[in-house]
Amino acid sequence: MIDIKLLRTEPDIVRENIKKKFQDDKLPLVDKVIDLDKEYREAKQKAEALRNKRNVVSKEIGMLMGQGKKDEAMAKKTEVTDMAAELEALSVKETELEAEIRKIMLTIPNIIDPSVPIGKDDSENVENERFGEPFVPDFEIPYHVDIMEKLDGIELDPARDTSGNGFYYLKGDIARLHSACLSYARDFMIDRGFTYYIPPYMIRSSVVDGVMSFAEMENMMYKIEGEDLYLIGTSEHSMIGKFIDTIIEEDKLPQTLTSYSPCFRKEVGAHGIEERGVYRIHQFEKQEMIVVCKPEDSMKWYDVLWKNTVDYFRSLDVPVRTLECCSGDLADLKVKSCDVEAWSPRQKKYFEVGSCSNLGDAQARRLKIRIKGENGTYLAHTLNNTCVAPPRMLIALLENNLNEDGSIRIPEALRPYMGGKSVIEVPKK
């Protein structure tokens, strides 16, 4: 959510930003908010003037009563009563206008960073840099589910019976490899100075409103029926929510946190749920990074975060690249974002395994996350990034470490978490 002062004083900047995001249908909202804001401030000023007048008249009543002028005092009392009724009506109007302004402001996109490439959708995202040499072996790489089934590591049919499409049972060494990726990611991030958290897996609607747009919420989140609670789609939601309505001393910044959680997503929309696969599913686990910092430091931390993910994947010998999200592919709260994509030797292309985002002060404004400095309080900046999200990570790991006989090489960094194993062998029939 942008600062309404910017909209009041520089509406053309807001309009141009909307155009850059190819959301021209939102252009009329700028003038609508300006009009509503003017009406709101006029009602507020009128109410303030009326309160001052009421205080003056109330004092006059006491003076008149002291002078024995009862009739004049009673007339003043009637005037005060009328003013009270008018104040009540103005208070209701202020509340209604404030709510309507906030509702619209939540839909106006954040001002993007000047470095963001302009483009309509993800087809116009821009490759930044590649890390590691992508390769394709001289034998055919099966679909990831076929690899797992050959290793007796996944059961899809029982999961459909218990839960439907978008769920799975992992078992044996594949389940262990899944957990190893997460355990290694936890220690990897701790070694980089991040504080480890396991957060609540459900959050209130007030936090949901603070961390994401309404459209994202509708397409992603599961609501707990009869409760003001939602299952989290990522631990970022809980972790940013942890700071709701707080004032952080400057010397306590930056806050650098890493959190583990299961994640639950509807996956409503064009992509849909895979019937046979673990790329797009309803339930998965993730190791996340979250930073709360001073505004002048947020771009520095943005670079630190995406590099952490690149370094994690490269430590497992998985080739990756970073892809800059263009303006039209940028979620409304984001200032800047890039995806980390892993190489798929089967598909001979890269696919998304993580996303790094700088949200500026958008979440902080919604959730009232402030910093206390020498010259008063100001809004923090928030950032988040995926370190690793199995089982999507498993696809990259399995394909890039597959042997011709169907066995899997275990990267050296994961071996301590796999009981020292260096290979996952194909079970003998």
Q: Which residues are catalytic?
A: 265, 280, 352, 355, 392
SS (H, E, C) the chain: CCCHHHHHHCHHHHHHHHHHCCCHHHHHHHHHHHHHHHHHHHHHHHHHHHHHHHHHHHHHHHHHHHCCCHHHHHHHHHHHHHHHHHHHHHHHHHHHHHHHHHHHHCCCCCCCCCCCCCCCCHHHCEEEEEECCCCCCCCCCCCHHHHHHHCCCEECHHHHHHCCCCCCEECHHHHHHHHHHHHHHHHHHHHCCCEEECCCCEECHHHHHHHCCHHHHHHHCCECCCCCCEECCCHHHHHHHCCCCEEEEHHHCCEEEEEEEEEECCCCCCCCCCCCCCCCCCEEEEEEEEEEECHHHHHHHHHHHHHHHHHHHHCCCCCEEEEECCHHHCCCCCCEEEEEEEEECCCCEEEEEEEEEECCCHHHHHHCEEEEECCEEEECEEEEEEEECCCHHHHHHHHHCECCCCCEECCHHHHHHHCCCCEECCCCC
285 and 406 Cβ atoms separated by less than 8 Å = no
> Which residues, 6 or more positions from 374, have their beta carbon under 8 angstroms from its beta carbon?
250
Nearest partner of 364 among 376, 341, 380, 384, judged by Cα: 380
